[in-house]
Chain A
Amino acid sequence: DAGVIQSPRHEVTEMGQEVTLRCKPISGHNSLFWYRQTMMRGLELLIYFNNNVPIDDSGMPEDRFSAKMPNASFSTLKIQPSEPRDSAVYFCASRPGAGNSNQPQHFGDGTRLSIL
């Protein structure tokens, strides 16, 4: 059974460029999460979707960040324009069930983003 798949694994780009991170959740999982991990702040939830609908985007740091989930098998996190302080590892996770389900989240291996 394939896990959560993220691409690219590494991204290096210059400040001001648009960055698009991609995620394919585990088939049948209907909750999807985007996280950012930095040394200073640890792991933080940016946004999550339930049945392709954004439920809570309060963790999205600025309007430069946007996320979409056009269907149950694909999601994107976009940063436009990118800034050096956006450098971090971005994780996608998915989970079966919704609401009060106590199923754990399954994480992808992350995208290591470096903005020069």
Chain B
Amino acid sequence: KQEVTQIPAALSVPEGENLVLNCSFTDSAIYNLQWFRQDPGKGLTSLLLIQSSQREQTSGRLNASLDKSSGRSTLYIAASQPGDSATYLCAARIGSEKLVFGKGTKLTVNP
């Protein structure tokens, strides 16, 4: 059974700092690995999707990497801003359509 873990559960950093969020999964047989952002009272917004054959994806200040052999993915946020404050979730796609989510990392960027 696929399990996805995110550490830490919460992170507080000063504005401008570069940071890394971690995601680990137990079964390397995944179709892709996705990172989402969730703001309070809102749904999830897709940030980056890394296919199983890829090593990384970049979008603006965000860079996500995938290492299937070690069961790990990281989300790198450069020059963090208060607007980046949110909960970040990773999800591994298994089987036909199923996403298995981690419980998220709550990020607070302090001005």
Contact = CB atoms under 8 A, between A and B. Distances in A.
Nearest to B102: A42
Interface residues of A, number: 23
Nearest to B91: A43
Given A100-B31, A107-B44, A109-B43, A45 B99 contact: yes
A80 interface: no
B103 interface: yes
A34 interface: no
B25 to A, nearest CB: 14
Contacts of B34: 104
Given A91-B43, A105-B46, 12 more contacts: A4-B43, A48-B98, A55-B96, A55-B97, A56-B98, A102-B31, A102-B51, A104-B46, A107-B36, A108-B43, A109-B42, A110-B43
Interface residues of B, number: 23
B64 to A, nearest CB: 12
Interface string B1-44: 00000000000000000000000000000011010100001111
Interface of A: 4, 31, 33, 42-45, 48, 50, 55-56, 91, 93, 99-100, 102, 104-110
Tell me the interface secondary structure of chain B in the complex: strand
Interface of B: 31-32, 34, 36, 41-46, 49, 51, 89, 91, 95-99, 101-104
Tell me the interface secondary structure of chain A in the complex: strand
Contacts of B99: 45, 105
Contacts, number: 51
Contacts of B46: 104-106
8 nearest CB pairs, A to B? A107-B43, A104-B46, A43-B101, A42-B103, A107-B44, A109-B43, A104-B49, A108-B43
B71 to A, nearest CB: 18
A22 to B, nearest CB: 15
B104 A99 contact: no
Given A104-B46, A109-B41, A42 B101 contact: yes
